[in-house]
Amino acid sequence: MKLREFYLILTGVIFCIFIGQAQSAVSKEDIQRLIKQQEKKVVERRRHLHQYPELSNREYKTMAYICQQLDAIGLPYKKGIAYTGVVAVLDTKKPGPIIGLRADMDALPVKERVDLPFASKEESDYLGAKVSVMHACGHDAHVAILLGVAQILSNVKNSLTGKIVFVFQPAEEGAPPGEEGGAALMIKEGLFKDYGIEVMFGLHISSMIETGRIHYKPKGIMASADRFEIKVKGKQTHGSKPWNGVDPITVSAQIILGLQNIVSRQIDLESSPSVITVGKISGGVRNNIIPEEVEMIGTIRTLDTTIQNIIHEKIKITAENIAKSAGAEAEVKIVKQYPVVYNNPNLTAKMLPSLEKAAGENNVLVMNPTMGAEDFSFYAVQVPGLFYFLGARHPEIDALDATLHHTPDFKIDENSFPLGMSSLIQLVLDYQSLKKY
């Protein structure tokens, strides 16, 4: 009799555990219902952030707004990381993975030209000048989407395991000269050490990709970005007698053309695309004086470390030899800024079904790498990472007419936000199911 009672009790316990596990599962329908409830709030948050943008390392009001929203959600957080960053943690108090989700939060010195009721009218000081400020790259949407994800995951906390770390990162566009910032500074100030993040997921909204679609790529998806400075020293003379001096302007012009020959004639573009761009050149004070010096600065974009090092060496050789042939001197300085955004191949393969669940298999497409850079790359150096693009071009807008990022006309389709939320949530749910603790 006692043995029979024991088996009955044991069976009941097993049944209760089974029922509890079944009840703890979060269905796609549950998530879609919660997303539907959050849509209006996410749009509201995005419009507020869009109306009040702030430049890199100066996102103080943005930080305060994020903290206010996290208070309303009920998530604990730490603020002031890397100047204005915020890190919130959803701790389930159960064994499981520690997953990082990241949104950047800074804007750009661009004057908005889009006719919107919530268009930015903000101004700020930038490099000693008064400039207009605009969210011209969609970081307002990134923050709003991640806050929506934080709310939804908090609502289903009992069905989750481990921890989810929400990283609101400043200065993705680059810290002001002379300052540290962005992902690198968040890491330096203990993001991985303090929170134990083991995997990072992030997205970037795209005005070029149709709403409802996700673009991704295993391995290198975005280029490394390096900054170069070249100072050309000639010999100053009267503009009417150039033969009495050494003209650093004409030498600089030859160097600029020589740099383009590196990419077009000396690098195997079939194996790895590369870009060298001179973005600024300055020298001289009067129309009739050949100056002593000219300075130029630019950017190098590569997708391969070997090619990156080759280009660095060739820039140095090209500039120095062209200058020497004209009797001038060239000083070359190259600073590595952002590494390649590298999507871990194993992680990407495992999580691809998650993106397909969220968007539909036919709406998740492999893309060619882009020569743009992103400091999410620093996270993906520390732990396996997956970064992808979220389409935000209204289907009625032709791809050729899509507004470009970093321009006054940049505009995105707010109907893209639900997929942004569902894709991140699906990644969290599926990664947790893959990891057994």
Q: What is the CATH number of the domain that holds 324?
A: 3.30.70.360
Whether 18 shows a pLDDT value over 70: the answer reads no
The mean pLDDT of 118-128, rounded to a whole number, is: 96
The mean pLDDT of 285-300, rounded to a whole number, is: 98
Domain boundary among 305, 338, 371: 338
pLDDT band at 314 (very low <50, low <70, confident <90, very high): very high
Could you count the other beta carbons within 10 Å of the beta carbon of residue 352? Answer: 18
In this structure, the answer to whether residues 365 and 408 fall within a common structural domain is yes
Give the DSSP letter string of 339-382. --EEE-HHHHHHHHHHHHHHH-GGGEEE---BS---THHHHHHH
Tell me the three state secondary structure of residue 162: coil
pLDDT band at 17 (very low <50, low <70, confident <90, very high): very low
In this structure, the answer to whether residues 176 and 249 fall within a common structural domain is no
How many domains in the chain? 2
The mean pLDDT of 404-427, rounded to a whole number, is: 98
The answer to the question of residue 276 being in a domain is yes
pLDDT band at 24 (very low <50, low <70, confident <90, very high): low
On the 0-12 / 13-18 / 19+ scale of CB atoms within 10 A, 292 is middle
The answer to the question of residue 328 being in a domain is yes
pLDDT of 6 reads 47
Q: Which of 12-21, 172-181, 376-385, 392-401 has the lowest mean pLDDT?
A: 12-21
Domain boundary among 338, 373, 394: 338
Domain boundary among 321, 338, 355: 338
409 CA to centre of own chain: 20
The answer to the question of residue 248 being in a domain is yes
DSSP 26: P
CA distance 390 to 403: 15
CA distance 188 to 237: 49
In this structure, the answer to whether residues 210 and 109 fall within a common structural domain is yes
pLDDT of 12 reads 43
Beta bridge partners of 30: none
The predicted model scores a pTM of 0.90
Whether 78 shows a pLDDT value over 80: the answer reads yes
pLDDT of 19 reads 33
The mean pLDDT of 63-79, rounded to a whole number, is: 99
In this structure, the answer to whether residues 137 and 174 fall within a common structural domain is yes
CB-based contact 210:382 (threshold 8 Å):
no
The answer to the question of residue 188 being in a domain is yes
In this structure, the answer to whether residues 323 and 205 fall within a common structural domain is no
The answer to the question of residue 234 being in a domain is yes
In this structure, the answer to whether residues 262 and 173 fall within a common structural domain is no
In this structure, the answer to whether residues 360 and 288 fall within a common structural domain is no
In this structure, the answer to whether residues 196 and 207 fall within a common structural domain is yes
The answer to the question of residue 76 being in a domain is yes
Q: What angle (nearest 5°) sits at the alpha carbon of residue 131, between those of residues 294 and 108? A: 90
pLDDT of 20 reads 38
In this structure, the answer to whether residues 174 and 279 fall within a common structural domain is no
Active-site residues: which are they?
Answer: 338, 414
Integer-rounded Cα radius of gyration of the chain: 26
The mean pLDDT of 65-70, rounded to a whole number, is: 99
pLDDT tens, residue by residue, 174-207: 999 999 999 999 999 999 999 999 999 999 999 9
314, containing H or E segment: helix 305-325
**By percentage, how much of the chain surpasses pLDDT 70?**
94
Q: What is the CATH number of the domain that holds 128?
A: 3.40.630.10
- Residue corresponding to tokens 């012009």: 253
The mean pLDDT of 264-280, rounded to a whole number, is: 94
In this structure, the answer to whether residues 238 and 364 fall within a common structural domain is no
The mean pLDDT of 313-336, rounded to a whole number, is: 98
pLDDT of 25 reads 79
Domain of residue 316 covers 224-338
Whether 363 shows a pLDDT value over 90: the answer reads yes
The mean pLDDT of 86-98, rounded to a whole number, is: 98
The answer to the question of residue 6 being in a domain is no
CA distance 350 to 353: 7
pLDDT tens, residue by residue, 211-237: 999 999 999 999 999 999 999 999 999
CA distance 163 to 11: 32
Whether 379 shows a pLDDT value over 80: the answer reads yes
pLDDT band at 435 (very low <50, low <70, confident <90, very high): confident
Whether 1 shows a pLDDT value over 70: the answer reads no
Q: Write out the two tokens for 413.
A: 């389709």
pLDDT of 388 reads 99
In this structure, the answer to whether residues 79 and 180 fall within a common structural domain is yes
The answer to the question of residue 44 being in a domain is yes
pLDDT of 75 reads 99
In this structure, the answer to whether residues 346 and 309 fall within a common structural domain is no
